[in-house]
Amino acid sequence: MIDQETFDALARANAFAVYNGISLRLLADGRAQAVMEMGPHSVNPYGRLHGGAIYTLADCAGGALCRTDGRRYVTLDGTVHFIRSTNHGTITATASMVHRGRTTALVDIQITDQDGTLLARGDFTFFCLGDG
């Protein structure tokens, strides 16, 4: 398990997440949460939350959870099931570890709005590149 200071440094180094307005809010008890405030950068042409923003948020939360063992991971596969959309607010992705193996990790991710309404859920597989 990595310490909070090391984890914070890794989070800041994720330029893609920073660029997309994604930040980590929770990293404890085998869960990670990433949040994103909806804005002009995260909506589709209809003013609704873009599916790519949901996928990106989910991927960032899952990757953060995987890295808690101090190793480096990349996304191997990700599936998101879109349930509902929204046009405003804070979006949260909560990642839970389903299985961590020697070379892969399977993560379940729930994406909710600020009221706790389920917007999407996903299953992501991450590949371990090795020690950090």
State the pLDDT at residue 11.
67
pLDDT at 40 over 60: yes
Span 54-75, pLDDT tens digits: 999 999 999 999 988 889 999 9
> Any idea where the domains of the chain sit in the sequence?
4-131
Q: What is the mean pLDDT of the chain?
A: 90
Q: Is 1 exposed, middle or buried (0-12, 13-18, 19+ CB in 10 A)?
A: exposed
More confident residue, 11 or 2: 11
Task: Give per-residue pLDDT as tens, 85-116.
Answer: 999 999 999 999 999 999 999 999 999 999 99
**C-alpha dihedral, 43 to 120 to 118 to 108, nearest 10°:** -130
Fold of the domain built from segment(s) 4-131 = Thiol Ester Dehydrase; Chain A (3.10.129)
pTM of structure: 0.90
Within 10 angstroms of residue 43's Cβ, the number of other Cβ atoms is 17
Overall average pLDDT of the 38-65 stretch: 94
1 has pLDDT over 60: no
Q: Which one has a higher pLDDT value, 41 or 109?
A: 109
Is pLDDT above 70 for 80?
Answer: yes
Residue 17, pLDDT above cutoff 90: no
